Structure 1
Amino acid sequence: MAFPAPLAPYAARAEETRGRLHSDPESAFRTPFQRDRDRVVHAVAFRRLKHKTQVFVSQEGDHYRTRLTHSLEVAQIARTLARALKLDEDLAECLALAHDLGHPPFGHTGEDVLVECMAKYDGFDHNAQTLRLLTKLERRHAEFDGLNLTWETLEGVVKHNGPLTGPLAQKNDPLPAAIVEYAKGHDLWLATYPSLEAQVSALADDIAYNNHDVDDGLRAGLFDFAAAREVPLVGSALRDAEARFPDAPRDILIAEAVSDLIGAMVVDVLQETKRRLAEGKPASADAVRRAKQAYSAFSPEMDRDLSGLRAFLHENMYRHYKVNRARSQAKRIIKSLFDLFFHEPETLPPEWRGRYEGASEARLARVVCDYIAGMTDRYASREYRRLFGVEFDG
């Protein structure tokens, strides 16, 4: 079959894939990375992202981002970066679409509660949960569990933030149990950087969430224009938009400023990445993996400004009292559901009870965790009402 061309020497190549864990006949008209992307899109976990939120909960309005719309925005930016760098766009898009599959309901609040609940049972990590979904929990094939994705996709999902072991790892924390378990049978080179496609996908995630949080925060009134004008990056973008369109309504000014911000960040990543590539001259995708630093990154100046933006969003948006109220409700829901299912497993649906019967306490905890992590915000809220008879407006 025909493969996309021309690609840069350092790009991942579908025709050179290290393959899949289970034998699986290839398509006559789609590359292995295209098939990976399509399998992610058709996964149950991907559809559930529609009703999993990041900062807001569903009652705040229909126009704010969900995990699904965020993933689509990340995919668009990732493809832009990949095309400009002559990388495999399908692999970059696949990684962007898959990167949030393991998040539980209610965003980082849900994850915080599951981390606490699973502290005695090998913990919880959303990246490891994504790997569990892709390799075990999704059931769409008769001959194997999971989606049976290529080595390059699984590597990129697990390591998109960098090496997990060895001297280059950013953290010395123990590896999540799901990654340790999977790596025993399928070596994902945990001590190296991932492909450049995975690196640009991770940066696309940063670009997307910082900008859409500015967009959503301004539109929701969590902070106002006066405050935003003093924030690195956002302030100059807003002032430029106001100068160019003095009579435009505020929603248009927000859209113009966010569009300019995304463009500026994309250009910054491309310039810094091209500078590093010109300096390092990697001749293959594996040369990218074996490098001593990431080849794709923000410039030091952009990194500094992004730190200021993140600090502002943390103080004025993620800890806003409205968001804190939603977080408080979410904590009670997730903790209550976990405790009930763990101590009264007979209340689990039959298909989930069958996954732990006769096994250890740790196995039961993992089954309960998998069940809850797969819930949407709406489903978790309904389960809470159904089981505890408590009204919740989520």
Structure 2
Amino acid sequence: MQTLAVYACDPAQSRGRRFTEPAAPTRSDFQRDRDRIVHSSAFRRLVYKTQVFVNHEGDLFRTRLTHSLEVAQLGRSIARSLGLDEDLVEAICLAHDLGHTPFGHAGQDALNECMRTHGGFEHNLQSLRVVDRLEERYPQFDGLNLSFETREGILKHCSRSNAELIEAREPGGVAQRFLAGTQPSLEAQLCNLADAIAYNAHDVDDGVRSGLITMSQLCDAVPLFGRYHEATLAQHPELGLPLADRRLLYESIRRMLSDQVYDVIDTSRLCLAQSGVQSVQDVRAAGRLLISFSDAMKAESQQLKQFLLRQLYRHPQVMQTMDSAQQVVRDLFAAYMVEPERMKPRFVQRSLGEDSLSGRARVVSDFIAGMTDRYAAREHERITGLKLLGA
């Protein structure tokens, strides 16, 4: 059994669930949350949702599901070294992208624009909405009825206006920290960082695999990658041969990942010691995040992120696909707003129960956000007769 540090979230001291349930005989509250997330429909749909490359573009590129698994693996590894609750970290990591639209950030941007006059759309808020309301698995309540600590970690970002709306429905709840200026749990802080570490590393892998970026570009522009690439070749010169490039890439990424993980562990240990926190309450009252990179690693990680933004995420080939993806989302939203009966029956029923245009729009956004890439592409083709994306 894991020994928790004094500043870790203890499942025995959880702030509980919105709907009271008897304790599970063999699992902690956080283990139970993790299991509910894994068995949810939203989690399964992540296997066909875009990370960078749309699902039909290749079988080996990351999806939101494989991304979430990699984040969870990194999160658990770091949590164990810091004495944090691994099950809570895993639950948050596995759930953090449940609200993502099809087609990744391009889909989110398009749906946010469609919802501009109806409260907007943000995937962190939608992830909370999925686990609080949209999953339909239990007779006693909507959603998964997760513990406060898991829900708090899922709500990674929140505007003040949205925080005020959530606070009005749930006083002192998961949005209160955005109004009070307090910090989330260390487990939640860790998940945010593990997310960034994971997507930077695997987007390098997918980007090189796709041919849209090269290791030579990375070495020239990204010192964080170039350093490990050079060290790998120095130790294994045979990896410089033409057919060994995959091993060279993997080993360079592995070393980069490992050093980032060790940097987080060492820096966070120092921050925790210097802060003097002795409880979860101390963590929340701290004036800053306590799980972090060193300044040097943060700067290098940011350089890598900026390189990927310029050379991969904004690559003309990616942008062309994302333009088509955004058109799919916009067309679907317009069609369902005019003819809501085109949606699945339970969403049609919900739409008919809404009195306001914004209420109906929120139902439509829930339906579209839950789609996989290929389902959205097929639905668009069925409704419009246009084939904008492979399916």
Shift of 1:71: 0.2
- Asked if residue 28 in structure 1 is aligned to residue 62 in structure 2, the reply is no
The whole-number CA distance in structure 2 between the counterparts of 1:56 and 1:177 is 35
How far does the alpha carbon of each residue in 1:141-165 deviate from its partner, in whole angstroms, 9 at most, with x for none?
A: 000001001111111111x46xx5x
SS of the residue 2:77 aligns to = helix
Structure 2 segments unaligned to the other structure (5+ residues): none
The whole-number CA distance in structure 1 between the counterparts of 2:138 and 2:74 is 31
Pairs within 5 Å for 1:104-119: 104-119=101-116
The whole-number CA distance in structure 1 between the counterparts of 2:153 and 2:28 is 17
Q: Relative to structure 1, is the Cα distance of residues 177 and 139 closer, same or farther in structure 2, using a 3 angstrom cutoff?
A: farther
1:276 to 258, 271, 274: 271
- Asked if residue 133 in structure 1 is aligned to residue 130 in structure 2, the reply is yes
The residue that corresponds to 2:154 in the other structure is 157
C-alpha contact (below 8 Å) 1:124/1:176 kept by paired residues: no
C-alpha contact (below 8 Å) 1:53/1:107 kept by paired residues: yes
Pairs within 5 Å for 1:290-301: 290-301=285-296
C-alpha contact (below 8 Å) 2:264/2:292 kept by paired residues: yes
Q: Relative to structure 1, is the Cα distance of residues 201 and 257 closer, same or farther in structure 2, using a 3 angstrom cutoff?
A: same
Shift of 1:177: 7.7
- One-letter amino acid matched to 1:281: G
- Asked if residue 241 in structure 1 is aligned to residue 228 in structure 2, the reply is no
Pairs within 5 Å for 1:123-202: 123-158=120-155, 160=156, 174-175=161-162, 179-180=166-167, 182-184=169-171, 186=173, 188-190=175-177, 191=180, 192-202=182-192
- Asked if residue 255 in structure 1 is aligned to residue 250 in structure 2, the reply is yes
Q: Relative to structure 1, is the Cα distance of residues 199 and 187 closer, same or farther in structure 2, using a 3 angstrom cutoff?
A: closer
The residue that corresponds to 2:15 in the other structure is 18
- One-letter amino acid matched to 2:227: S
- One-letter amino acid matched to 1:84: S
How far does the alpha carbon of each residue in 1:316-365 deviate from its partner, in whole angstroms, 9 at most, with x for none?
A: 10011110111011011000000000122232222111102152111110
2:361 to 343, 355, 365: 365
Pairs within 5 Å for 1:57-136: 57-136=54-133
- One-letter amino acid matched to 1:204: A
The whole-number CA distance in structure 2 between the counterparts of 1:314 and 1:182 is 37
- Number of residue equivalences: 381
C-alpha contact (below 8 Å) 1:217/1:317 kept by paired residues: yes
The residue that corresponds to 2:322 in the other structure is 327
Structure 1 segments unaligned to the other structure (5+ residues): 165-171
1:221 to 211, 217, 223: 211
The whole-number CA distance in structure 2 between the counterparts of 1:360 and 1:177 is 21
Shift of 1:5: 4.0
Shift of 1:123: 0.9
- One-letter amino acid matched to 2:383: L
- One-letter amino acid matched to 2:170: A
TM-score (norm 2): 0.94
The whole-number CA distance in structure 2 between the counterparts of 1:136 and 1:122 is 17
The residue that corresponds to 1:316 in the other structure is 311
- One-letter amino acid matched to 2:126: Q
Shift of 1:253: 0.4
C-alpha contact (below 8 Å) 1:82/1:200 kept by paired residues: yes
- Asked if residue 352 in structure 1 is aligned to residue 347 in structure 2, the reply is yes
The whole-number CA distance in structure 2 between the counterparts of 1:271 and 1:219 is 32
How far does the alpha carbon of each residue in 1:287-327 deviate from its partner, in whole angstroms, 9 at most, with x for none?
A: 11111000101111111111211111111100111101110
C-alpha contact (below 8 Å) 1:154/1:188 kept by paired residues: no
Q: Relative to structure 1, is the Cα distance of residues 108 and 176 closer, same or farther in structure 2, using a 3 angstrom cutoff?
A: farther
Q: Relative to structure 1, is the Cα distance of residues 51 and 338 closer, same or farther in structure 2, using a 3 angstrom cutoff?
A: same
Identity %: 45
Q: Relative to structure 1, is the Cα distance of residues 181 and 117 closer, same or farther in structure 2, using a 3 angstrom cutoff?
A: farther
The whole-number CA distance in structure 2 between the counterparts of 1:135 and 1:276 is 33
Q: Relative to structure 1, is the Cα distance of residues 238 and 327 closer, same or farther in structure 2, using a 3 angstrom cutoff?
A: same
Shift of 1:181: 5.6
The whole-number CA distance in structure 1 between the counterparts of 2:235 and 2:56 is 35
The whole-number CA distance in structure 1 between the counterparts of 2:168 and 2:361 is 17
Q: Relative to structure 1, is the Cα distance of residues 111 and 180 closer, same or farther in structure 2, using a 3 angstrom cutoff?
A: farther
- One-letter amino acid matched to 1:183: E
Shift of 1:373: 0.2
C-alpha contact (below 8 Å) 2:167/2:173 kept by paired residues: no
C-alpha contact (below 8 Å) 2:167/2:176 kept by paired residues: no
